[in-house]
């Protein structure tokens, strides 16, 4: 019996948002690497069950046609029986971002004084595997805190995943934070992580379909919104984000390539948000925007 399936391919970085949207219909976990010398980004899609080959071919064909790029060849194969949690922990180094030290229980290293240490073990909640985007968000949040930004209401982590950014918000400001995700497994993992880090009293994680959720609307408007997802959904939700962000509030956005910055900034500028900061890390970009 298979332990899951993986789809491997490479696609030019400029077409990545369209490809990610096309592959999103299959669910699963999407992991990308850094572009090679020709700008091709390795993409791996992990699935619980074997994908429909015809549907997959059609999705890749449509992505290629929409971007004007050559249709990528792909390899589909079953995953061997493996303890993926243990394997991912072995290769998962701690993340250092300013005062933050994000680590798994397998890490014996202990940070120095003044560090905010958060325990996040690898788990079966889906994630992107992009540490630069997490680091960018953490650095941006720390700078907002250093500049004296204070909020009296609530913050929102849109697409909270394992819950690390919501925990960072709670640890810095000691204020209530709502984290939402459209993956029920991620919500359960985030709740457990909040307990492990002693922050459960400040955090609420719930299943929600983005800004369409009644809960998200009821808890807003938000003084601070963080969303580390992908460029395409960030652009699609720009108007909704603006409506849920309080006047003068900040949004920290990541999950986008540096080549996608202009597109994301333009969409949010049209929604009434202005650029307040940017954090380039390797090929990734984190943006800080403010609602006037």
The β-bridge partners of 10 are: 42
Which class does domain 125-291 fall in? alpha beta
The β-bridge partners of 204 are: 178
> Residue 209 burial by CB count (10 A; 0-12/13-18/19+): exposed, middle or buried?
exposed
Give, for all 292 residues of the chain, the pLDDT tens digit. Answer: 456 899 999 999 999 999 998 998 898 888 888 888 888 999 999 888 999 999 999 999 999 999 999 999 999 999 876 554 555 445 456 778 888 988 877 666 677 777 888 888 755 443 433 478 989 999 999 999 999 998 888 899 999 988 999 999 999 999 999 999 998 888 998 999 999 999 999 999 999 999 999 999 999 899 999 999 989 999 999 999 999 999 999 999 999 999 999 999 999 999 999 999 999 998 899 999 999 8
Distance from C-alpha of 160 to C-alpha of 241, rounded to nearest angstrom: 15
What pLDDT is stored for residue 292 in this prediction? 84
Which residues are within 8 A (CB) of 269 and not within 5 positions of it... i.e. 6 or more apart?
Answer: 275
Fold classification of 5-82 (topology level): Alpha-Beta Plaits (3.30.70)
Same fold? 5-82, 125-291: no
Q: pTM higher than 0.85, yes or no?
A: no
What pLDDT is stored for residue 94 in this prediction? 75
Instruction: Please state the length of the chain.
Output: 292
What pLDDT is stored for residue 125 in this prediction? 40
What pLDDT is stored for residue 173 in this prediction? 95
Tokens representing residue 76 in the block: 């589909």
- Domain coordinates of the chain in residue numbers? 5-82, 125-291
Token pair 């789809």 is found at 7
């Amino acid at each position: 019996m298979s332990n899951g399936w993986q789809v491997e391919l490479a696609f030019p970085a400029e077409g990545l948002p369209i490809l990610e949207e096309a592959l999103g219909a299959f669910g699963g976990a999407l992991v990308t690497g850094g572009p090679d010398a020709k700008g091709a980004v390795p993409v791996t899609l992990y699935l619980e069950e074997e994908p429909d080959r015809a549907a997959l071919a059609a999705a890749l064909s449509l992505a290629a046609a929409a971007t004007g790029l050559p249709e990528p060849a792909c390899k589909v194969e079953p995953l061997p029986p493996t303890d993926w949690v243990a394997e991912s922990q072995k290769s998962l180094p701690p993340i250092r971002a300013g005062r933050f030290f994000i680590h798994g229980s397998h890490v014996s290293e202990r940070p120095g004084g003044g560090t905010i240490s958060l325990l996040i073990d690898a788990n079966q909640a889906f994630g992107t595997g992009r540490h630069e985007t997490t680091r960018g968000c953490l650095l941006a949040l720390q700078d907002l805190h250093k500049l004296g930004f204070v909020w009296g209401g609530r913050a929102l982590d849109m697409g909270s995943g394992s819950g690390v950014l919501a925990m960072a918000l709670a640890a810095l400001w000691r204020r209530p934070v709502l984290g939402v995700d459209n993956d029920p497994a991620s919500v359960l993992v985030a709740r457990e992580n909040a307990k492990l880090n002693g922050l459960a009293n400040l955090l609420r994680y719930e299943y929600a379909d983005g800004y369409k959720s009644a809960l998200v609307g009821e808890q807003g408007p938000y003084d601070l919104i963080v969303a580390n997802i992908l460029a395409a959904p960030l652009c699609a939700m720009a108007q909704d984000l603006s409506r849920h962000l309080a006047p003068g509030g900040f949004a920290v956005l990541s999950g986008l390539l540096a080549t996608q910055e202009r597109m994301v900034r333009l969409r949010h500028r049209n929604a009434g948000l202005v650029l307040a900061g940017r954090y380039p890390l390797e090929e990734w970009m984190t943006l800080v925007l403010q609602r006037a």
